[in-house]
A and B are shown apart, each in its own frame.
Chain A
Amino acid sequence: MIAPVWLLLQREMRQSFRRWSDLISPLVFFVVVATLFPLAISPAADVLRQVGPGVLWVAALLSMLLSMNRLFRDDYEDGSLEQLVLAPQPLVLLVLGKVLAHWLQMVLPLLLLTPAVATAYDLPAEATWVLLLSLLLGTPALSLIGGITAALTVGLRQGAGVLAVLLLPLSIPVLIFGSRATDLAVTGMDTTGPLMLLGAMSILAASLAPFGIAAALRVSLD
C-alpha cells in the first residue's frame, strides 16, 4: 500500500528539486504578505499581537493557494496525468503521494520560516510554538481539500480563479480553529481543544479527500 505513494513522492521530489525556483515564490509571498501588515496597520506591539495569529494564518493560506493551482496542472498539460489515471495502481494512493509531496515541498518550508516571521508580531515564545503546531496540524487538511479543488479545476482555462473561489470558503473551519488556538495561547489560555479539532480535520481529510481527488481527476480528463 505504501509503494504507490512512495513512487509518486520520489518522482515529485526529484523533479521539483531540479526546478527549485518554483519552490521559492510561495515562500517569498508568505514573508512579504506577513511583513506588509505591520507596515499598514500599526507598529504598536499590542495591536500586532492581537492580529498576528490571524494574519499569519491567512498569509499561509494564500501562499498555499498560490502553489495549489500547479498541483495537477503540469501533469495535465504534459499528459502524464493520463498515464497516472490509466496505471494499474490505485489512483487514490497515487494522488495521496502527490499531495504529500506538495505539502513537503510547499508547506513544510513555510512552517520553518514561521518563527522568524512571528517575531514581527511580537508573539510570545509560547504562542509561536502553538502557532507552529496549529499550522502543522491544520495545513494537511488544507492541502487535501485544495487537492480536490485543484483536481476539479485542472481542465479549466480560468482554473486559478475558480480554484480560489472554491477553496477559500472550504478552508474557513481550519482557519478559524488555527488562528483561535494561537489567539488563546497569546492570552495564556488552554489550547488543547482547537488543536485537537485541527488534527481531527486533517485525519478526516486524509482518509476521505484522496477518493474525492481521484474521482475529480477522472471527471477532468473525460
Chain B
Amino acid sequence: MPELNPQNIGLSASGLLLFRGERCLLNHLALRVAPGEGLVLRGPNGTGKTTLLRVLCGLTLPEEGDVHWNGIAIRQQRNEWQRALGWSGHKAGLKSELTVRENLEFAAALAGHRPGDIPAELGLAECLDLPARVLSAGQQRRSSLARVLLGNALVWLLDEPYTNLDTQGQAYLNACLDRHLAAGGIAVIASHGNAHSALGMTEQTLMNGALQ
C-alpha cells in the first residue's frame, strides 16, 4: 500500500466518462469528497445522478476514468472499498418474506458486524417483526436506510433517501447525517428535495455530464 498522502484521503473520482447509447451521461467528470464532507447531487430527472452514484459504488464501470478511495482505484481494492461502503439505492433491498429485524440482522452479518440496537427514532418499533412485504413505502425506505445508518460504513452513498419519508423521518436522517459527518464520515446523496441541513454539505448540480 502506497503512503497515504493527506491530499488523497477520502473519495475522489477523475475523468469519468460514461455513455448510455448515444447519450453522454458523464463527461470527464471529477469530484472529491474529504472525510467530514458531504456532497448533495442535484439536477433534473434523467441527468445521471443515479448512474453517477452507481459508478461511485462500483456497480457500473465507467468507460474511462476511475473512482479512488484513499488514493487507490476501487477496482484494485474491492474488498477494502466495500467494507467502507454503505449503499442505499432506488430499490429497498429487503427480502419480502423476512421480517424487518431479520433483514437488518442479515445486512449486519453480511457487513461483518454484530447487529446493534434499533433506535426508537427510526420509527420501526411496531413493524420490526412484520414481513417486509406488508410495510408501507415510507417504512420500507426507513428499513432500507437503517441498514446504512446503523452500520459502520465510512462512506454513505444514498440515492434519493428522502423519498417517501415523513418530516420526522427526514429529521432523523438529517441528524444521522450530521453525526456521521461530524465523526469524519463521507456522504454522497442524490436528492432533489431540500430537506437536509447538515453541516459540511456542499451542493452541486449534475448538468450535461459534469458537476457545476
Contact = CB atoms under 8 A, between A and B. Distances in A.
A87 B82 contact: yes
Interface string B76-93: 000100110101011111
A80 B96 CA distance: 10
A87 B107 CA distance: 9
B70 to A, nearest CB: 15
Identify whether the interface residues of A are mostly helix, strand, loop, or mixed.
Answer: helix
B207 interface: no
Contacts of B97: 14-16, 18-19
A13 to B, nearest CB: 11
A221 interface: yes
Contacts, number: 67
Contact of B110 (A16, A83, A221): A83
Given A84-B110, A85-B59, A89-B110, A11 B90 contact: no
A17 B79 CA distance: 32
Contact of B90 (A18, A79, A221): A79
Interface string A1-34: 0000001000100111011000000000000000
B82 A86 contact: yes
A88 B83 contact: yes
Nearest to B102: A14
B98 interface: yes
Nearest to B79: A88
A46 interface: no
B109 A7 contact: yes
Given A7-B106, A15-B97, A19-B97, A86 B57 contact: yes
A87 B89 contact: no
Contact of A79 (B60, B79, B85, B93): B93
A133 B189 CA distance: 54
Interface in A179-201: none
Interface string A69-91: 00000000111101111111100
Contacts of B110: 7, 83-84, 87, 89
B98 A11 contact: yes
B61 A222 contact: yes
B132 to A, nearest CB: 9
Max chain B Cβ within 10 angstroms of own Cβ: one of A79, A84, A85: A79
Nearest to B61: A222
